[in-house]
Structure 1
């Protein structure tokens, strides 16, 4: 269970994941040591990750797409199997038209085709896959706060 101090730390790190404990401490009203302990606990429990988020198009990838997948069988198992692929950065079990949605990042259109045709569609349990290539990224944020 997150308390108000945990939530304050999370909100601050969502805006600047590199903020030092020395700068966080007065913002949240704790000592540096207490902030460090809380961040460590939040990290170890999987509540937060502190990572460098890159723009795939700026680091050599030219194609991003969402793939809608219809599947038979255990959706979590199929999703976990697809999640092992390096090109897939996001997997969700969904309601609606598709059973699973996976986001893929590829170097080029040939790699996207090969991934979908040779790997995703041949994964046991996958019945069909529809690709939605991204034309323009309008918004991507990681600062949704806490509740």
Structure 2
């Protein structure tokens, strides 16, 4: 990941938008939509992927897979917050780790089967980390919006 923003032209934006709608869409179909050949689309997707601009992944619905509890956890710490963030990132149940400014030093997102698993994760894996002073757990009641269309509009 680079600190410099990557400027997308309209064709690259069109390719990304097409793949955001359906990541399994064929390069030939995407090419017709943006006015390029299948090979040209394949090359652009590969360059965008290699540059770290684009990933094509399967996004699952945690509720449909039996993970009934999602939460965002704000963490306050002492010491090196970046070091703590790296340790937290190594925990499988944590799917999002961000260093922040404000009332929390780190914010993490977790997906658990139930409240018992969340409590276990909090007590045994998060609060047990050296440097963690306090946590604040914000349990998701309902996910209203989630999108991945940055930079194309």
**TM-score using structure 1 length:** 0.91
- Of 31, 34, 51, the residue aligned with 1:28 is 34
The corresponding residue for 1:119 is 125
Alignment of 1:1-147 (within 5 A): 1-4=6-9, 5-146=11-152
User: CA deviation digits over 1:73-114, x for unaligned, max 9?
Assistant: 222222121111111111111121111110000111111001
User: CA deviation digits over 1:12-64, x for unaligned, max 9?
Assistant: 21222111101111222211111101111222222111111111011011110
Instruction: Say what the alpha-carbon RMSD is for the aligned residues.
Output: 1.5
Give the deviation of 1:143 after TM superposition: 2.6
> Are 1:15 and 1:143, in contact at CA under 8 Å, matched by a contact in 2?
no
In the alignment of these two chains, the number of paired residues is 147
The corresponding residue for 2:3 is none
Give the deviation of 1:6 after TM superposition: 2.1
Structure-1 separation of matches of 2:89 and 2:117 = 17
Contiguous gaps of at least 5 residues in structure 1 = none
Contiguous gaps of at least 5 residues in structure 2 = 1-5
Structure-2 separation of matches of 1:37 and 1:87 = 35
**TM-score using structure 2 length:** 0.88
Q: Structure 1 residues 77 and 69, CA, compared in 2 at 3 Å: closer, same or farther?
A: same
Give the deviation of 1:115 after TM superposition: 0.5
The 3-state SS of whatever aligns with 1:34 is helix
